[in-house]
């Protein structure tokens, strides 16, 4: 959690995917919450795969984390090779929440 350069960002799992495979996490950036739904999907090339979409928005991103080569389909990742989806899911895995 020692990131600088960006506004304070916290990530929390608010609904565990344990029961039916669908979880919800929230990212707070500068005090504004954004809610995302996640579902783990099989990942055959290492790491763990998740389908993620922001609630209320249609776009689904496939995110791969937990391996040496994370990836995401969003524009931010395409441009900068990092994004809040990868950072968020990685943080939740580190927390033991996923």
| 77 binding Zn ion? (CB under 5 A) | yes
Stretch that binds Zn ion, among 12-20, 34-42, 43-51, 80-88 (CB under 5 A): 80-88
Which residue from 11, 13, 38, 83 is in contact with Zn ion, where contact means CB under 5 A? 83
- The whole-angstrom separation of Cα 46 and Cα 70 is 9
By CB under 5 A, which span of 7-15, 39-47, 66-74, 89-97 interacts with Zn ion?
66-74
| CA–CA distance, 16 with 29 (Å, rounded to integer) | 21
Distance, in Å, from the CA atom of 24 to the CA atom of 97, rounded to the nearest integer, reads 11
Q: Binder to Zn ion among 24, 37, 41, 74 (CB under 5 A)?
A: 74
Confirm or reject binding of residue 36 to Zn ion (CB under 5 A). Answer: no
Applying CB under 5 A, the span of 11-19, 21-29, 32-40, 83-91 interacting with Zn ion comes to 83-91
Q: Shortest gap between Cβ of 77 and Zn ion (angstroms)?
A: 4
Residue 39 is encoded by which pair of tokens?
């579902």
């Amino acid at each position: 959690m020692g990131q600088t350069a960006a506004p304070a960002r916290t990530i929390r799992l608010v609904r565990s995917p344990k029961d039916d495979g669908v979880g919800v996490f929230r990212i707070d950036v500068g005090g504004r919450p954004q809610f995302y739904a996640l579902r783990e999907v099989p990942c055959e090339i290492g790491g763990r795969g998740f389908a993620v979409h922001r609630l209320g928005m249609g776009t689904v991103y496939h995110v791969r984390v937990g391996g040496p080569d994370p990836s995401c389909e969003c524009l931010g990742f395409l441009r900068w090779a990092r994004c809040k989806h990868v950072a968020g899911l990685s943080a939740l895995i580190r927390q033991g929440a996923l």
